[in-house]
Amino acid sequence: MTINTMAKGGWQREQTICFRKMEKMIVAMQDPDMGMKLRNQRLLITVIPHAMTGHDIIIWLIHKYSVCEEEALHLGGMLVKYGYIYPLKEPRSLVLQPDESPYRFQTPYFWTSTRWPASELDYAIYLAKKNIRKQGELMEYEKERYSLLHKKINHTWDFVVMQAREQLRASKQRRKADRIVLECQEQAYWLINRPPPGVHNMLDVGLERQNNFNLRATLVSIEVHRRALGRNRVKSSICLEGFLKYSEQYQNHDPIMQGCLPSNPWISDDTAHWTMNTEMVPVPTRLRVERWSFSFMELLNDAMGRQEFMLYLEKEFSAENLYFWQACEEIRHGESSKIVEKVEEVYKNFLAPGAARWVNIDSKTMDKTLEGIKQPHRFVLDDAQMHIYFLMKKVCFCKLREKDHTNISANSLQHLIMFVFPFMRRQRHSSPSPAQAVAQATEEEGRHKGAG
Amino acid sequence: MGKEECKTMLDALNKVTACYRHLVIALGSTSDSQNLREELKRTRKKAQELAVANRTKLTTLLKDKSISKEDRAEYERLWVLFSSSMELLEVDMKRSLEIGQDFPLKVPTRHLIQTGMTGSTSTVAARAMSVQNMKYEADSNIDTADLKDLQSEITQVSQMMEEMEMKVQVAPWAVVAKQEAGAELKSNLSVGNSSVGVISICEEEPKDDEAHADGHPARGAPPQGRAVTCPGGKQGLKGIQYK
């Protein structure tokens, strides 16, 4: 009993689309007026009709589809490869010869089909029939497969033998010409569905086997790919440049590339490195401060950097921006259950007209945000947050880079900011090469007693 | 005895299945015709009758608790043969529906595939129906009218097979075949006794066939086109190693 390849309840495989197209082509060739020109095949005393030459096939394809000879050869070749047309002279060579070699059409029952895959039972019956006809003279690989099947479906082997005999008896009822055609057809079918060893299996498309079961899924994926085509892409030369700049900039900061001072805690068991780099320390390390100048995001992400920045903003009377930004971050990353109340608070403190810490957002974004607040969710303040972020970045952060360090009055951190500024000044133009940075760093180090 | 009866019925079903397949192969080709459609219909109905009869018989026998162990093993073997036969039949019926729908006979724009087969299949059908000659009496629209019947019959067969799987507890892997590998080359006795006399296994093969491509000489000395009776055992199992 073989496993039923068709699930109960009506779901069936579909015929692969390219096979359906080939079938249409074959049917078009049968047209009595516009179809293929057919001749008779003369065997010794039998005459079998409906043979055609390879050349005829190509001429017909050229006329019907207005293609060039090369393409017609390719198309015709596919028809032969997939078994819709089989060669009569050399049955094992499934290629289309554009000469006088004879071919014939395959009967619909034996058309290649993903819907009706060839079963082991059928193959066994075929081999048994061949065994009888050839009195045991099967080809080597056929004998091997025969033995294998005999083991595999041994429980139904008696049926195989019975059925093989009966099928032969049934075909004896036909006249000779038809019998010959039948044998050729069957042989062609099995050459495709169970190819001899070393011959590529046409039906195997490897890892990228398409799932044709669901037409709708295919249409959806077509739509997805079409949209993907329209997306903006960055040339690899450009993003590689950016990648290079980033690597240069961060090289000194990478503990693997540059080593970490004072020592790698994993190796030396000395946790000084970690203690020096905790989130809040009295004096941050030089490298850390240097990173603040790389980008605004670095500054904001570092708690101490943010603190510094806040102090600066308060002096400039624009601290509400940072408070707002922080509040938005809390909503984005915080608990779902608290979102509604947090958004309420933000509105009260930052967005409502006359609020204590009113932030300056452009009218369009403000309208959109106020609208969105009516149905608060995690990302409702994203637009406003982004606006404020860029405001801070352009106005405050960049000002900070240019600023003269004499304006800073923070005492215990003064020498830190002095470290920040020289580095920042250099960053303005281009990423420093590592060599230059190191040289000037040692210069600074000589001048100020820095930490780290 | 129950066993002999079973075997005879199974042979009959086997014969009809083989003939039905032969007829379905001709569908859509130049051998196709009104007559073929009628032959298909009648063969199919006969197959179904035999199927139901076989099933009833076998289920009764298998349900019987009083049978001996060897008998039971034998009935299980017959059951497996019966299900395989039904499998083939079901697939062929579904295919004949599909091909029948794709190749209606009366539509002038739908052409049959010119496969080289042009003879009639009436002798095959006659064999299936166990009659001397076929008499054709169907209407001219049989190619479309029959399809509805076919669909309901397919549903019936599928349901029957489902029931069979659920109700009858036979483990196919426990069944051992009686015939060893290569058995078909020996005598031509079938399991039962319903065979028509077999003739001409070693017939001359046409020149274009692979017999030449393989380098083997054309089998059989007799001159072209004449059938020869070879008793199956003569050539035997010469030179074959079955592992």
pLDDT tens string A256-292: 888 888 888 898 888 888 988 888 888 888 888 888 8
A104, β-bridge pairs: A86
Give the number of beta-carbon pairs within 8 Å between A and B: 233
* CB-closest option in B30, B83, B185 to A136: B185
B238 touches chain A (CB under 8 A): yes
Question: To probe the interface with A, which of B11, B20, B105, B113 has the most A CB atoms within 10 Å?
Answer: B113
User: Distance, in angstroms, between B113 CA and closest chain A CA?
Assistant: 6
A8/B87 CB distance under 8 A: no
Whole-number Å distance between alpha carbons of B138 and B7: 33
Interface of B with A in 83-122 (CB under 8 A): 83-85, 87-88, 91, 95, 98-99, 102-103, 110-119, 121
β-sheet with A47-53: strand ranges across: A39-42, A47-53, A102-105, A85-87
How many other CB atoms sit within 10 Å of the CB of residue A372? 17
Taking the CA atoms of residue A271, residue A277, residue A282 and residue A288 in that order, the dihedral angle to the nearest 10 degrees is 150
Which DSSP string do the residues of A1-22 spell out, in sequence order? ----SS-TTS--PPPPHHHHHH
Q: Which residue has the higher pLDDT, B132 or B50?
A: B50
Least confident of A243-257, A280-294, A403-417, B206-220: B206-220
Note the pLDDT of residue A324: 95
Structure tokens given for B151? 């669909």
Least confident of A110-119, A212-221, B193-202: B193-202
Cα separations in angstroms, A363 against A359, A368, A383: 12, 9, 12
| Nearest chain B residue to A38, by CA | B114
A178/B239 CB distance under 8 A: no
Whole-number Å distance between alpha carbons of A340 and A145: 71
Which DSSP string do the residues of B79-146 spell out, in sequence order? HHHHHHHHHHHHHHHHHHHHHHHHS-SS-TTS--B--S--S--HHHHHHHHT-SS------TTHHHHH
Query: Distance of alpha carbon B125 from its chain centroid, rounded?
Result: 11
Q: Please, are residues A295 and A283 in contact by the beta-carbon 8 Å criterion?
A: no
For residue A238, give the H/E element and its range. Answer: helix A236-250
Question: To probe the interface with B, which of A100, A113, A126, A156 has the most B CB atoms within 10 Å?
Answer: A156
For residue A262, whether the previous peptide bond is cis, meaning omega lies within 30 degrees of 0, is yes
Q: Please, are residues B60 and B143 in contact by the beta-carbon 8 Å criterion?
A: no
Q: Please, are residues A340 and A373 in contact by the beta-carbon 8 Å criterion?
A: no
Q: Tell me, what's the ipTM?
A: 0.76
A133/B206 CB distance under 8 A: no
How many other CB atoms sit within 10 Å of the CB of residue B80? 24
List of E strands, A246-404? none
For tokens 């403000």, the residue is A366
Cα separations in angstroms, B228 against A143, A174, A426: 26, 16, 103
A85, β-bridge pairs: A105
Contacts 24+ apart (CB under 8 A), B176-180: B176/A154, B176/A155, B176/B77, B177/A154, B177/A155, B177/A156, B177/A157, B177/A158, B177/B77, B178/A158, B178/B77, B179/A157, B179/A158, B179/A161, B180/B242
Q: What is residue A404's DSSP assignment?
A: -
* CB-closest option in A104, A155, A183 to B172: A155
User: Distance, in angstroms, between A54 CA and closest chain B CA?
Assistant: 16
Mean pLDDT across B26-45: 88
B131 touches chain A (CB under 8 A): no
Which DSSP string do the residues of A178-235 spell out, in sequence order? HHHHHHHHHHHHHHHHSPPTTS--TT--GGG----S-HHHHHHHHHHHHHHHTS----
User: Distance, in angstroms, between B124 CA and closest chain A CA?
Assistant: 6
Cα separations in angstroms, A209 against A17, A204, A216: 13, 8, 17
* CB-closest option in B181, B185, B224 to A135: B185
A2/B14 CB distance under 8 A: no
Identify all chain B residues contacting A143, using CB atoms and an 8 Å cutoff: 240-242
Mean pLDDT across A79-83: 93
A139/B214 CB distance under 8 A: yes
| Nearest chain A residue to B206, by CA | A43
Q: Under DSSP, is residue B109 helix (H, G, I), strand (E, B) or coil?
A: coil
Note the pLDDT of residue A59: 93
Identify all chain B residues contacting A170, using CB atoms and an 8 Å cutoff: 15, 18-19, 21-22, 124, 127-128
Question: To probe the interface with B, which of A37, A135, A145 has the most B CB atoms within 10 Å?
Answer: A135
Report pLDDT digits (tens) over A156-187: 999 999 999 999 999 998 988 899 999 999 99
- Residue B172 — pLDDT band, cuts 50, 70, 90? confident
Q: Which residue has the higher pLDDT, B200 or B146?
A: B146
Q: Please give the model's pTM, rounded to 2 decimal places.
A: 0.59
Structure tokens given for A320? 């509400």
Q: Please, are residues B137 and B37 in contact by the beta-carbon 8 Å criterion?
A: no
B18/A173 CB distance under 8 A: no
Interface of B with A in 43-72 (CB under 8 A): none
Is the pLDDT at A328 greater than 90? The verdict is yes
* CB-closest option in A49, A108, A136 to B118: A49
Q: Which residue has the higher pLDDT, B167 or B80?
A: B80
Note the pLDDT of residue A13: 66
Q: Please, are residues A181 and A86 in contact by the beta-carbon 8 Å criterion?
A: no
pLDDT above 70 as % of chain A? 83
Note the pLDDT of residue B204: 34
- Residue A208 — pLDDT band, cuts 50, 70, 90? low
Closest to B36 in 3D by CA, of A20, A178, A106? A178
Note the pLDDT of residue A213: 60
Main-chain dihedrals φ then ψ at residue A103, nearest 5 degrees: -135, 165
User: Distance, in angstroms, between B242 CA and closest chain A CA?
Assistant: 6
In the predicted model, what is the mean pLDDT of chain A? Answer: 83
What is the phi-psi region of residue A154: left when phi exceeds 0, alpha when psi lies from -120 to 50, beta otherwise? alpha
B27 touches chain A (CB under 8 A): yes
Is the pLDDT at A21 greater than 50? The verdict is yes
Note the pLDDT of residue A211: 58
Q: Which residue has the higher pLDDT, B173 or A92?
A: A92
Main-chain dihedrals φ then ψ at residue A195, nearest 5 degrees: -65, 150
